[in-house]
């Protein structure tokens, strides 16, 4: 059994380019979360899916950001027209519905550097 | 979700107990205390959680005060690999909670 998988692990791009990150949650985990983390700060909540439905979006998720989970399995996070302020670690987590602990299982993250 | 306050950093000698405090004076009756840790360049890892009783697992112990306004995470015999950022989080637990809000956490340095 593998944990939460994120791809790519590192991405360097030029300002103005579009980037897409992929997250594969633990199988049978129907809840999926995206977080963003900048240096020295804790992870910031971006959005949350239950199955394919996006149930909550943070105000941090500007119009340039879009997240999808079309079949309720893997998810993608796309950033359009990247800015230098988008440089961060993008973390994905998953959890099973009905789990009494409420534990989140995180991936290793995708580090974005915008030049 | 209630807000938590943690010291920004702490030191601990290897082999000694590490006691990490957390204040959550505005915690609600249905909110749990969760602890996660994040080792450098990795995603956060769940450690333990509790509602009002003290909890222990293979990683740590969680002591929650009777009024639930503060708690302490105890790593009984800290090792160098416990050097990490530790996050104390208060949220509605179990199936009722959806998002976990992280603060800045406490950076624990375990020294040889």
For A97, name the nearest residue in chain B, comparing CA atoms only.
B95
pLDDT at A99: 75
Residues of A with Cβ-Cβ distance to B96 under 8 angstroms: 102
- Cα-Cα-Cα-Cα dihedral of A80, B99, B75, B72, to 10°? 130
Please give the average per-residue pLDDT across B54-67, as a whole number: 96
Q: Which of B46, B87, B95 sits opposite A42 (nearest CB)?
A: B87
- Band the pLDDT of B110: cuts 50, 70, 90: very high
* B99 half-sphere exposure, CB direction, 13 A CA radius: 19
pLDDT at B97: 47
pLDDT at B13: 97
Residues of A with Cβ-Cβ distance to B94 under 8 angstroms: 99-102
pLDDT at B94: 57
Greater pLDDT, B94 or B5: B5
A93–B43: do the CB atoms touch at under 8 Å? yes
For B85, name the nearest residue in chain A, comparing CA atoms only.
A42
- Band the pLDDT of B98: cuts 50, 70, 90: low
pLDDT at B56: 97
Strands (E), chain A: 5-7, 10-13, 19-24, 31-37, 44-50, 53-57, 65-68, 75-79, 88-95, 105-106, 110-114
Please give the average per-residue pLDDT across B69-80, as a whole number: 97
CA distance B33 to chain A (A): 11
A108–B43: do the CB atoms touch at under 8 Å? yes
- Band the pLDDT of B2: cuts 50, 70, 90: low
pLDDT at B1 over 80: no
B46–A105: do the CB atoms touch at under 8 Å? yes
What is the average pLDDT score of chain B? Answer: 91
B43–A97: do the CB atoms touch at under 8 Å? no
B43–A31: do the CB atoms touch at under 8 Å? no
Give the span between the Cα atoms of B85 and B104, in whole angstroms. Answer: 8
User: pLDDT of chain A along its 115 residues, tens only?
Assistant: 579 999 999 999 999 999 999 999 999 899 999 999 999 899 999 999 999 999 888 888 889 999 999 988 999 999 999 999 999 999 999 998 777 777 899 999 999 999 9
Query: Which A positions 10-39 lie with beta carbon below 8 A of chain B?
Result: 31, 33, 35
Phi first, then psi, for residue B13 (nearest 5°) are -80, 140
């Amino acid at each position: 059994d593998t944990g939460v998988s994120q791809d790519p692990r590192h991405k360097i791009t030029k300002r103005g380019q579009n980037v897409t990150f992929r997250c594969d949650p633990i199988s049978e985990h129907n809840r999926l979360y995206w977080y963003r983390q900048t240096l020295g700060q804790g992870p910031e909540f971006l959005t949350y899916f239950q199955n394919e439905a996006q149930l909550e979006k943070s105000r941090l998720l500007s119009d340039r950001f879009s997240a999808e989970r079309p079949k309720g399995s893997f998810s993608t996070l796309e950033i359009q027209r990247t800015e230098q302020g988008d440089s961060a670690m993008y973390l994905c987590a998953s959890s099973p519905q009905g789990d009494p602990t409420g534990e989140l299982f995180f991936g290793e993250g995708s580090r974005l550097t915008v030049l | 979700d209630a807000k938590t306050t943690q010291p920004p950093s702490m030191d601990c000698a290897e082999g000694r107990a590490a006691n990490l405090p957390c204040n959550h004076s505005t915690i609600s009756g249905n909110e749990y205390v969760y602890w996660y840790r994040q080792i450098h360049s990795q995603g956060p890892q769940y450690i333990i959680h509790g509602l009002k009783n003290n909890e222990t697992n293979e990683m740590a112990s969680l002591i929650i005060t009777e009024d639930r306004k503060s708690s302490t995470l105890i790593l009984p015999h800290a090792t160098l690999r416990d050097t990490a950022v530790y996050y104390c989080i208060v949220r509605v637990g179990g199936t009722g909670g959806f998002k976990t809000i992280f603060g800045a956490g406490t950076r624990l340095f375990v020294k040889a």
